[in-house]
Every structure is written in C-alpha cells, then in structure tokens.
C-alpha cells in the first residue's frame, strides 16, 4: 500500500470537550464498526476509563475511508489522554502522527489543557486542524472560539471546522480535512526497519504487545527484531492492527500504525519510546525516543489485612507491565506494617491505580496522604531525595530543603482573577504574568509548589471560580523552601504514616487544623485518645477523642436474634475498613486528613 493514502493523526482536547465522542463518530461514519457494534466511547477500554469519562492509555484504531477524490485512505487514529497527569503519554502519541485534530468546545473555548496539548503538537511539527465541537448547543459561540484560536494559539482559524460529534454535523468535513490537510507519512521502504514503540500492553497469552508506528522499512511475522535501547532480540509472532478490535495482518509497512507481539516476557526489555529494528539488517541509529515519565506524587500503599502483602506486590507488578510510569518499592511503617511507597504521575493517576488494585485484584488498601519528593541538603554536604515524610531527617542536620515547583497556567473569566490570585498567593505561589485572551477571559501564570497543587489547590481553584477556571502545569524545578516535618502522636505514640511536611510559617496552624480534623475523623473507642501534633519534641497542638461510653445491644430476645446477629455482623464489617495502629483503630480517611482541611474554618 502506498504511503500516499495513509494519514496518522491524534485528537487533542481538554477534558469533556468531546474527544471520545468525536472518535466514536469517526469510527462509526467510516463504517469501521456498525452502530450496533459500537459500544459508547469504544476507545476507553478500561471500565474505569468509561466510568470516569477519561482516557488513560493511548489507543490506536485503523479507519478505512473513501474520500471525495475517489481514493481509499487508511486513517490511523491514535487516541490520547486528556488529563494533565498524562501529558507524557500525549507527547508519545503525537510523535507517532503527522497531524492532530484540535477539538475545542464551542461553549467553553480554549482551556489550559488545550494550550498545553497544542504546544506539544507544535513541538512535533504536526498539522493542526481546529475542530469546534458542540456547535448544536444553544450556548455555542464558535466566533468567539475562532477568535481565541487565532489570538491565543496563533493558528489560522478560517478553516476551522464547525462540528457536533453528538449529532453528526461536520463529521464528513473532518474526515476530508484529515485527508487533505494532514501530510502523508514520508517513510522509506528501502531503508532498514525503524519503528517507534509508542505504547505497550501486557497480554497474558501474547506477552508484551508493542504499539508501533513504522517509520522506515516493514515488519512481518517471523522477522527477528532488535530493541535498539535494550539490544534484546525477539522473533515476531504476530503483527496486527486495531479495527478497533485487534486483528492479525501480514505486514506493517512504512508509515503504518499497528501492533506486534514477539513473546516478550518482560516489559523492561521493550520500553516505550524504544526503536524496533530488523536484527538481520539493523538501522544505524534509533529514532529520537522519549524522556522517561517521572513520578511526581508519592504515597504509601498498605494492605488493610497484612496477609495481603504478597498479593499487593503481585498486583503492582502486573499493573506496572501496562504502565511503566508506575514505580514502587517496599517500605515499612511502624504504624502500618509492610507496604509499598509508590510514585505516580499525578493525583488522578494515583486514584486510578488504587481503584484498579482494589477492583481488579480485590484488595482492601490503605493509602497514606500523597506527597512530593523533597531534596534535603544536609549540613554535612550530602543531598538526599526524600519521598516519604516520615523519613525527613532531624532539623538539626538539615542545612536547607528544596521542593518541586510547577509553572501553572490558569485560564479563568476575568471576574474571578482576584479570587484566583488570592488563592495562589495563599498557596505560596509566585506571580509570573497575566494576559487577556479576549474581553472576558484571562490567562494567569504562577509558579506554585507542587505540594500545594496536590493538597487542594485544584479543588479550591474550581470553587473560587464557580467551576470556570482550568488549570495546567508542568514541573519547573526545585526551589528552596522553609519546610518542617509535623509529626502526629496518638496516645503519645508517633504514627509515622501521619507525618506531614509543611511550610514553617504555617506549621502551627496546620498542626492545629490537622489534630482537629483527626479528632473528628477518629471514632470514639473504649479509651480516651489524645491526638497531638509536634515539631521535633515540641507539641504544637492537642485534641482528645473522648472515650466511647458504651457499645452493647440493649435488648436481645427470642424474636430478634436473627436481626441482632446481622447488626453485629455489620458492625464487624465496618471495622474491617479500619487499620489497627497500636491500640487505636483508624479509618482510611484519617490518613487523608491533611488533604481535607478547611482553611476557612
């Protein structure tokens, strides 16, 4: 097949702007799947993705399209995640394409995440086709959106396509534009094989399945391939493409997108971003790869039932096969026993992973509050990366501490600028600059500690802007901060899993809030429980969970044994959700208390 009739493209969009709906409509319109076969939003293949309306993993689908010029085209759609946590995956997908559909909600306009994705697309020199979606809605304002596209993104909006993925308006135009405005791949069939691995997936039967974009040469079943970074050699057992269910094909040629299986047992042997070449006729140089995704958020994961430790490790290993950005290593907590310190791309990533562990592996887990990695400079000149607050060294041996900062982009209607700035200031943000996007909307840049974003910045941003603000951020680097560790003591015993790193000026205030919150979260028990916050040896706040006075069924007679039996079972079940720390039973929420504090109180 000639490369002239191949088009490789992605869809980039802010969350909720209709990316998945558009993808579904393209699949349906090209007849790749009949309406009956269509499951809503077919590309989100994890249950969780469908429930949350988000895409986490990149996916590739081959569409066959007969264009108005009479030719048959092969359109390869590479779906991308829309959440800031997964920017890294977007960048991978874009590298496998020549063009991108930029989907913007006609009722919302450009959002912070749109911007970030467009810049990524531009970095990769992609042809960008603006698609203004949801034009069927009464509140749609395509003219304003066009204006924004030109003003903010500097993209010619005269050829922006007005569409409604929901009703089908403009879908044909989108397909034609893909053919006409996105360049065909320019691979060379005579050169040795170079194929970019843009994602991978572990399959229990086939081993690691690599999602590849062939740049030069071709791949066939039986070929001996070499992974250029790891130098491992495998024999290809299957090549195929997604339509959108995976199907085997004979050959993947230059310019095409598909998958290959080669009996690869270990995901580490075939890393995403690596280049596949022909072992018998290797390419000289690999394709430019990717940066490794760096986890930004860490937390402890502990099984509620200590005997589940091995199951948790197995489950984490299995998840890591599909998601190399997940990192974990064993850790021990005095309070919680054996568990793992896990690193995630962001909070959503953390949530999704925890939920998958609980659902797919049937584990009951306890998560400690997420934190960032601190760089601790000791007085003896050594530097240490601390990913667990409880391991924060004693203040006397610390020279200074640095924490990660992000460049945050906030887009918000101008009426809320004051509120956003006040919030950002309060969260230790450093103001950078502000631009008017049009008469009503403003883009603000702040440098913010990542830890504040993890705490509650995003929730607060949403509530102070009545939901209108959008946020995007990228890691910028480390800056010195005046940080201290606040320890929490229950019954006079420190609980390492509850320690938190906070800014020194707010330590007392935070400590007081934290113990208040803990007092309200810890259920009364048979004895009184003092809850204290301390910095070093100095107690800065104290509250008491008073003792439960009684806990006994007042009545139980012949007629209600069965009912009372169930009642007791229910009470027992409730306790299984608690973690025994020393003599105290703690609910999961207690470990998240630091995230749930109300500053306005």
304 sits near another protein (criterion: CB under 8 A): no
Q: Give the integer Cα–Cα distance in Å for 556 and 599.
A: 46
Using the rule CB under 8 A, is 479 a contact of another protein?
no
Q: Which stretch binds another protein (CB under 8 A): 35-43, 125-133, 423-431, 558-566?
A: 558-566
Instruction: Give the residue, chosen from 35, 291, 538, 549, that forms a contact with another protein under the rule CB under 8 A.
Output: 549
Q: Is 572 in the site for another protein (CB under 8 A)?
A: yes
Other beta carbons within 10 angstroms of residue 67's beta carbon come to: 16
C-beta closer to another protein: residue 397 or 548:
548
State the number of binding residues for another protein (CB under 8 A). 25
Decide: is 68 part of the binding site for another protein (CB under 8 A).
Answer: no
Span of 29-37, 236-244, 425-433, 563-571 interacting with another protein by CB under 8 A: 563-571
Do the beta carbons of residue 371 and residue 391 sit within 8 Å? no
Nearest distance from residue 576's CB to another protein, in Å? Answer: 10
Minimum distance, C-beta of residue 541 to another protein, in the bound complex (Å): 23
Which position among 1, 247, 397, 568 is part of the footprint of another protein (CB under 8 A)?
568
Which CB, 467 or 559, lies closer to another protein? Answer: 559
Does residue 244 have a cis bond before it (omega within 30 degrees)?
yes
User: Which of 192, 188, 195, 189 is CA-nearest to residue 279?
Assistant: 192
- CA dist., res. 167 & res. 65, Å (int): 20
163 by DSSP, 3-state: which? coil
Which residue stretch of 24-32, 306-314, 470-478, 562-570 sits at the interface with another protein (rule: CB under 8 A)?
562-570
Q: Is residue 548 within the footprint of another protein (CB under 8 A)?
A: yes
Nearer to another protein, 227 or 584 (CB): 584
- The nearer residue to another protein, 334 or 548, going by C-beta atoms, is 548
The piece of 163-171, 288-296, 463-471, 571-579 that touches another protein (CB under 8 A) is 571-579
The H or E element containing residue 471 is strand 470-481
Q: Decide: residue 243, CB within 10 A, 0-12 exposed, 13-18 middle, 19+ buried.
A: middle
The residue among 41 and 580 lying less far from another protein, judged by its C-beta, is: 580
Q: Token pair of 286, please?
A: 């690999």
- Any contact of residue 307 with another protein (CB under 8 A)? no
577 touches another protein by CB under 8 A: no
CB-nearer residue toward another protein: 157 or 545 = 545
571 binds another protein (CB under 8 A): yes
What is the smallest separation between the CB atom of 542 and another protein, expressed in angstroms? 20
Listed as own residue / partner, the contacts of 391-395 with beta carbons closer than 8 Å and 24 or more positions apart are: 392/485, 392/499, 392/501, 394/536, 395/484, 395/485, 395/535, 395/536
* Inter-residue contact 403 to 478 (CB < 8 Å): yes
Assess 433 for contact with another protein (CB under 8 A). no
Contacts with another protein, 171-200, as mask; x by CB under 8 A = ------------------------------
Shortest Å, Cβ 568 to another protein: 5
Select the residue interacting with another protein from 550, 598, 600, 601 (CB under 8 A).
Answer: 550
Return the number of the residue (66 or 575) whose C-beta is nearest another protein.
575
Beta strand pairing call for 584-587 and 529-535: unpaired
Using the contact rule CB under 8 A, the part of the chain among 312-320, 357-365, 464-472, 567-575 near another protein is: 567-575
Q: Which residue's CB is nearer to another protein, number 36 or number 550?
A: 550
Beta strands in 184-317 (DSSP E): 194-203, 207-216, 219-220, 224-227, 233-235, 238-242, 246-249, 251-252, 257-261, 275-278, 297-303
Is residue 555 involved in binding another protein (CB under 8 A)?
yes
| Binder of another protein out of 552, 598, 600, 601 (CB under 8 A) | 552
Q: What CA–CA distance (Å, rounded) separates 452 from 563?
A: 48
Query: Rounded CA gap, 485 and 491, in Å?
Result: 19
Q: Tokens 């599909």, residue?
A: 322
Q: Which is nearer to another protein, 134 or 579 (CB)?
A: 579
Which one of residues 48, 556, 578, 597 is an interface residue with another protein (CB under 8 A)? 556
* Site pattern 507..536 for another protein (x: CB under 8 A): -----------------x-x----------
Q: Does 397 bind another protein (CB under 8 A)?
A: no
Please, what is the minimum distance in Å from the beta carbon of residue 565 to another protein?
6
Q: Which of 381, 559, 598, 600 binds another protein (CB under 8 A)?
A: 559
**For residue 154, what are its two tokens?**
């500097």
Helix, strand or coil, per DSSP, at residue 18: coil
Return the residue of 551, 598, 600, 601 that touches another protein, per CB under 8 A.
551
Give the CA-trace dihedral at 529, 535, 540, 544, to 10 degrees.
Answer: -10
Q: Which of 379, 440, 553, 577 binds another protein (CB under 8 A)?
A: 553
Task: Please calculate the CA angle 375-380-386 and round it to the nearest 5 degrees.
Answer: 20
Which residues, other chains included, contact 545 with Cβ-Cβ below 8 Å and sequence gap of 6+? 519, 522, 523, 524, 525, 528, 529, 531
Say which residue the tokens 């970019």 belong to: 196
Distance CA 8, CA 192 (A): 21
Residues forming a β-bridge with 66: 72
CB-based contact 345:352 (threshold 8 Å):
no
- Taking the complex as a whole, the smallest distance from the CB of residue 358 to another protein amounts, in Å, to 24
Shortest Cβ 561–another protein spacing (Å): 6
Q: Which residues contact 10 (CB under 8 A, 6 or more apart)?
A: 77, 78, 79, 80, 90, 93, 94, 97, 99, 100, 101, 121, 126
Applying CB under 8 A, which part among 335-343, 508-516, 534-542, 548-556 lies near another protein? 548-556
**3-state percent breakdown (helix, strand, coil) of the chain, nearest 5:** 30, 35, 35
Residue closer to another protein by CB (options 158, 562) is 562
Q: What residues make contact with another protein under the rule CB under 8 A? A: 524, 526, 546, 548-562, 564-565, 568-569, 571-572, 575
């Amino acid at each position: 097949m000639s490369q002239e009739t191949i088009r490789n493209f992605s869809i980039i969009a802010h969350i909720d702007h209709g990316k998945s709906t558009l993808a579904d409509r393209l699949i349906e319109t090209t007849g790749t799947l009949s309406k009956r076969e269509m499951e809503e939003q077919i590309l989100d293949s994890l249950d969780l993705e469908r429930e949350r309306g988000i895409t986490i993993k990149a996916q590739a689908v081959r569409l066959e399209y007969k264009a108005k010029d009479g030719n048959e085209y092969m359109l390869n759609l590479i779906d991308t995640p829309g959440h800031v946590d997964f920017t890294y995956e977007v960048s991978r997908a874009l590298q496998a394409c020549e063009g991108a559909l930029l989907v913007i909600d006609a009722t919302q306009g450009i959002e912070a995440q749109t911007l970030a994705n467009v810049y990524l697309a531009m970095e990769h020199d992609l042809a960008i086709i603006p698609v203004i979606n949801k034009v069927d809605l009464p509140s749609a304002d395509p003219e304003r959106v066009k204006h924004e596209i030109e003003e903010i993104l500097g993209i010619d909006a005269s050829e922006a396509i007005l569409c409604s993925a929901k009703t089908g308006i403009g879908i044909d135009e989108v397909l034609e534009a893909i053919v006409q405005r996105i360049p065909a791949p320019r691979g060379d069939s005579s050169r040795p094989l170079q194929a970019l691995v843009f994602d991978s997936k572990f399959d229990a039967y086939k081993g690691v399945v690599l999602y590849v974009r062939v740049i030069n040469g071709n791949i066939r079943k039986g070929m001996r391939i070499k992974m250029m970074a790891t130098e491992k050699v495998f024999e290809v057992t299957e090549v195929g493409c997604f339509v959108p269910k995976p199907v085997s094909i004979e050959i993947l040629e230059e310019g095409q997108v598909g998958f290959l299986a080669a009996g690869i047992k270990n995901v580490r042997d075939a890393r995403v971003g690596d280049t596949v070449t022909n072992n018998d006729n290797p390419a000289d140089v690999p394709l430019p790869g990717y940066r490794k995704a760096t986890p930004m958020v860490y937390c402890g994961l502990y099984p509620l039932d200590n005997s589940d430790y091995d199951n948790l490790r197995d489950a984490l290993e299995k998840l890591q096969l599909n998601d190399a950005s997940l990192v974990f290593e064993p850790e021990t907590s005095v309070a919680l026993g054996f568990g793992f310190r896990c690193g995630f791309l962001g909070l959503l990533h953390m949530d999704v992973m925890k939920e998958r562990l609980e659902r797919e592996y049937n584990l009951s887990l306890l998560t400690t509050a997420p934190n960032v990695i601190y760089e601790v400079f000791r007085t003896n000149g050594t530097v240490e990366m601390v990913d667990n607050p409880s391991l924060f060294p004693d203040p006397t041996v610390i020279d200074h501490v640095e924490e990660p900062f992000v460049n945050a982009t906030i887009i918000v209607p101008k009426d809320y600028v004051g509120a956003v700035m006040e919030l950002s200031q309060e969260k230790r943000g450093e103001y950078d600059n502000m631009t008017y996007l049009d008469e009503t909307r403003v883009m603000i840049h702040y440098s913010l500690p990542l830890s504040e974003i993890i705490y509650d910045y995003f929730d607060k941003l949403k509530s102070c802007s009545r939901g209108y603000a959008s946020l995007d951020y990228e890691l910028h680097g480390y800056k010195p901060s005046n940080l201290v560790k606040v320890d929490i003591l229950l019954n006079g015993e420190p609980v390492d899993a509850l320690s938190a790193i906070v800014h020194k000026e707010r330590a007392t205030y935070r400590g007081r809030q934290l113990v208040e919150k803990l007092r309200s979260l810890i259920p009364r028990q048979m004895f009184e429980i003092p809850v204290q916050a301390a910095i070093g040896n100095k107690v800065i706040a104290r509250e008491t969970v008073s003792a439960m006075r009684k806990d006994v069924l007042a009545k139980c007679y012949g007629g209600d044994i069965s009912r009372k039996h169930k009642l007791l079972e229910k009470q027992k079940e409730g306790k299984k959700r608690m973690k025994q720390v020393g003599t105290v039973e703690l609910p999961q929420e207690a470990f998240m208390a630091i995230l749930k504090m109300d500053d306005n109180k």
